Amino acid sequence: MTRLDGRTFDQLRPMKITTDFVKFPEGSCLIECGNTKVLCCASVEERTPPHVAEGCGWVTAEYNMLPRANRERSKRDISKLKLSGRSAEIQRLVGRSLRAAVDLEKLGERTITIDCDVLQGDGGTRTASVTGGFVALSLALRKLVEEGFLQEMPLKTSVAAVSAGIVDDRALLDLCYEEDSAAQVDLNCVMTGDGRLVELQGTGEGRAFTIEEQRTLVDLCAKGIREIQAAQKSVLGG
């Protein structure tokens, strides 16, 4: 099956990660997945939220889509005086995913917040936020080690994410907007560097899907995530 952009069914969109994209955060990158572009910035604070155990650190995330990230202007969350349900769901996903990579005791009593701002959305903004968020987090942790605030890197593994879906009864990897909007099944997958699942979000859009179809989609995601993790290692130098 030839897709709208000429890719094969198991091919990722072209991906580019530009590190240190902005000056002031402890870690930052611009991640581009096809026409989706997300700016990820990591900020370090020497304190933790009240719910965090003594001696441990915390990693959290915030997600926002700029008004003209999409084909039509959307209102800023601040104009509605509350975070949209979609943004809240996505930032919780990103935070959970990144915490899976970090030894919070080794991080110490500090908080790292990853801000994920969608500059342009064309499908896969949440998965790009996880993938780019890990790069920004890694850069911030590296800086803490270099400046002597940490004795060693507190990373346990890497994390990356990608989507897959069923469109016209065909399983496809890394859906663009047109594919995502027409998908019968949509699945987002987050995995660690050793291939373990962190989170799986699958939804039938108009029809149910089988366990076998889910396995096919997860296998597609696993292939894509291995390629994404190779790109992460390339820009991080590891």
User: Whole-prediction pTM value?
Assistant: 0.93
DSSP 8-state assignment for residue 168: T
Distances (CA, A) of 115 to 41, 112, 170: 5, 10, 34
Question: In whole numbers, what is the pLDDT of the chain averaged over residues?
Answer: 93
Q: Using the predicted structure, report yes or no on whether residue 146 has a pLDDT greater than 70.
A: yes
DSSP helix/strand/coil, 194: coil
Question: Mean pLDDT across the stretch 93-113?
Answer: 97
Q: Using the predicted structure, report yes or no on whether residue 221 has a pLDDT greater than 90.
A: yes
Question: Mean pLDDT across the stretch 49-78?
Answer: 87
Check the CA dihedral 124-111-234-118 and report its sign: positive
Check the CA dihedral 105-108-111-116 and report its sign: negative
| CA dist., res. 225 & res. 213, Å (int) | 18
Quick: pLDDT tens for 175-184: 999 999 999 9
Question: Mean pLDDT across the stretch 102-123?
Answer: 96
Question: What domains sit in the chain, N to C, each tagged with a CATH number?
Answer: 15-236 (3.30.230.70)
pLDDT of residue 9: 95
Radius of gyration of the chain (CA): 18
Quick: pLDDT tens for 191-211: 999 999 999 999 998 789 999
pLDDT-based confidence at residue 3 (cuts at 50, 70, 90): confident
